[in-house]
Structure 1
Amino acid sequence: MPPDYRIAEAAALLGVSDDTVRRWIDAGRLTASRSGGGPAVVDGVQLARVATELRDAPQPGTTPSSARNRLTGIVTRVVRDTVMAQVELQAGPFRLVSLMSREAADELGLEPGVRAVATVKATQVSVDVP
């Protein structure tokens, strides 16, 4: 089951401010819930959907690039076959795709809505769970 994220965590994963996430909740773009009077949380699957929408929206005046080699994001898609898995991760405005063994993807519990960290070195992308 994908985890829920606090508003600040959701904002960091999407690369937007906490206030933007709150406005999206008020507008119905995201749904927040509370349990037992705790902090408001957003469902990970919904967060993955919005991350995908943000990825598909053009960012005026920007070119996707990264000066760092570890990018924290949210898994937006996992395609598994009998041996391999293709994992898509949205880290702010950056979309990363990693090919790994199905066994590794299963062991990490990778599925849409799960937070993950992509480590980039040359042409290889490794995905870790924090």
Structure 2
Amino acid sequence: MPSHKVSTLARLLSVSTDTVRRWIDDGHIELDPTVPGPQHVDGASVVRFLTERPELHAGSLGRQSHSMRNHMPGLVIDIVSDTVMSQVVLQCGPFRIVSLVSTEAVTELGLSVGSVAIAQVKATNVSLAVSPSRA
């Protein structure tokens, strides 16, 4: 299972490194004891933590203050594959991105739950909506 530096995980989830360290101290996520050097967080424990807390998928992890320019780094939190296609779910800061790609691509990229990937979005049609209170 992949592991990630505390600072990398904080950036991916749009939280501070102190928040990630609190999650570690509180036992919500686990360190990877097999990685020497700076602390590394076990990717599977992060996925469990996010999965158990659906409110974190709803945009409460923080706000982006810059343009993502259609490249959003994130943590792979789920992969569902059949022989031809795979559904890959990324947690990109406060956003949950779902991508449908070939299973061959998932294999070639070496993706697994807990991996870091970058969602690259090319949208030819973007819909906008306003909240009911502003309509």
Report the CA distance between 1:67 and its aligned residue: 4.5
Unaligned runs of 5+ in 2: 126-135
Equivalent residue for 2:104? 103
Change (3 A) 1:80 1:35: closer
Query: Cα distance, 1:116 vs. partner?
Result: 0.1
Deviations 1:3-54 (A, max 9, x none): 2111111111111100001111111111124458621111111122334445
In the superposition, the TM-score normalised over structure 1's length comes to 0.79
Cα 1:35–1:102, aligned 2, differ >3 Å: closer, same or farther? closer
**Match in the other structure for 2:44:** 45
What's the C-alpha RMSD, in Å, of the aligned pairs?
2.5
Aligned CA distance change for structure 1 residues 84 and 40 (closer, same or farther; 3 Å):
same
Aligned pairs, number: 119
Q: Which has the higher strand share?
A: 1
Shift in CA distance, 59/119, structure 1 to aligned 2, threshold 3 Å:
closer
CA distance in 2, matches of 1:4, 1:36: 8
Q: Which residue of 1 aligns with 2:94?
A: 93
2-structure distance, mates of 1:51, 1:110: 18
Q: 2 CA distance for matches of 1:106 and 1:36?
A: 24
TM-score by length of 2: 0.76
Shift of 1:102: 0.8
1:92-119 deviations in Å (ceiling 9; x for gaps): 1100111111111111111110000000
